[in-house]
Amino acid sequence: MRKVLVVYSGGLDSYTLLNKALKEFDEVSAITFNYGQKHKKEIDYAIANCKKLSIAHEVIDLPLTGLLSGSALVGDSEIPEGNYDKDKMKLTVVPNRNMIMISVAASMAIRDQASHLWYAAHAGDHEIYPDCRPEFILKLKEVLEICDYHKISFEAPFQDLSKAEIVAEGLSMNLDYHDAWTCYEGGLKPCLKCSACLERKGAFEFNNAIDPLK
């Protein structure tokens, strides 16, 4: 049986991936990490959507805060506004964060005897985040194939897509992007100023589509 565990943040990319998984697998479950990020609102979205879609879902507390001094995704630093330049984006980089989360997800995938582990890294992440690069994903795939006697196929199906192309795929699946939270600020409505909001805006504009959350 093809059974996938999807690393699902509650954001747009992994929401699209989760729905793609529902089309391609016999069984789908999801894992969301609460690692001390400011934008906890996306976790609420993840919980609500998994309930709506009847997907088995676990939210894992991963208290990385102690490790992560210097990251603007946790703690008290301000989230940089505007399109990220490299220096600004580095503020949101936690060393090796993705590998930590994927290692934990793999543990659960093995426990559940899943055949696949899916992760929503996309092409726009590559330049700044070393742990989103295709070569990192490939090497991680290789290590996850042998980390246990139960073999897990680790895949990042969107690794060659831009965010605009991910939205295009979601729109072709008739996804309702009301159900995906993106803004780093986590207010009542998206701030439309942070880099995540601006990227999302650009992705909908590219598709000549209107963002329902706007």
150 binds a copy of itself (CB under 8 A): yes
- Which helix (H) or strand (E) segment holds residue 12: the answer is helix 12-24
Question: Which residues fall within 8 angstroms of residue 6, CB to CB, at 6 or more apart?
Answer: 14, 17, 18, 21, 28, 29, 30, 31, 118, 119, 120
CB 101 to a copy of itself: min, Å: 9
In the three-class reduction of DSSP (H, G, I as helix; E, B as strand; rest coil), residue 214 is classed as: coil
The site for a copy of itself, by CB under 8 A, has a size of: 36
CB 124 to a copy of itself: min, Å: 18
Residue 71 is given by DSSP the state -
Q: Which of 91, 147, 192, 198 binds a copy of itself (CB under 8 A)?
A: 147
Residues 72 to 111 in contact with a copy of itself, rule: CB under 8 A: 94-97, 99-100, 103-104, 106-108, 110-111
Of 131 and 185, nearer to a copy of itself (C-beta) is: 131
Which residues partner with 90 through β-bridges? none
60 binds a copy of itself (CB under 8 A): yes
Q: Which of 146, 174, 189, 208 binds a copy of itself (CB under 8 A)?
A: 146
142 binds a copy of itself (CB under 8 A): yes
CA-nearest of 79, 84, 20 to 55 is 20
The CA distance from 158 to 122, in Å, is: 5
In the numeric block, which tokens belong to residue 19? Answer: 């729905």
Q: Which of 143, 173, 187, 210 binds a copy of itself (CB under 8 A)?
A: 143
Cβ-based neighbour number of residue 147 at 10 Å: 15
Residue 28 and residue 18 in contact, taking contact as beta carbons nearer than 8 Å:
yes
CB 175 to a copy of itself: min, Å: 30
Residue 155 and residue 119 in contact, taking contact as beta carbons nearer than 8 Å:
yes
- Residue ranges binding a copy of itself (CB under 8 A): 60-61, 63-64, 66-70, 94-97, 99-100, 103-104, 106-108, 110-111, 130-131, 133, 135-136, 139-140, 142-143, 146-150
